[in-house]
Amino acid sequence: MTSTLTQAGQTTIPADIRRTAGWEPGATLDWQVDGGKVVVRLMVPTEEAQTVRLVRKGGKLVFPAGFKASSTAIADAIREERDSR
């Protein structure tokens, strides 16, 4: 797959790559050069910095793509959702 770099230094990440990686709009990506290769990683905030809310997809409540946290953080998000009803 290829993409073009604009004058402003921007490019579009191909949809297949975004889907496979689970990247959604608004994701923060970390770019590094390692041995002549460019490595791009999804930045996942530390648990302390996360303020994650459950989102509704297809009638189900789910966590956003790329969400990783402890069982305590997950329980807190579920409790917050229940309390908001």
Q: Across the strands, what pairs with 30?
A: 41
Instruction: Judge: domain 9-43, CATH 1.10.1740.
Output: no
The pTM for the full model equals 0.48
Phi, psi dihedral angles at 37 (to 5 degrees)? -110, 150
Fill in the amino acid letter for 62: V
In the chain, where the domains are located: 9-43, 45-85
Query: 10 Å Cβ neighbour count for 77?
Result: 19
pLDDT tens-digit profile, the chain (85 residues): 899 999 999 999 999 999 888 888 888 888 999 888 999 988 876 554 456 677 778 888 887 777 766 677 777 778 877 887 7
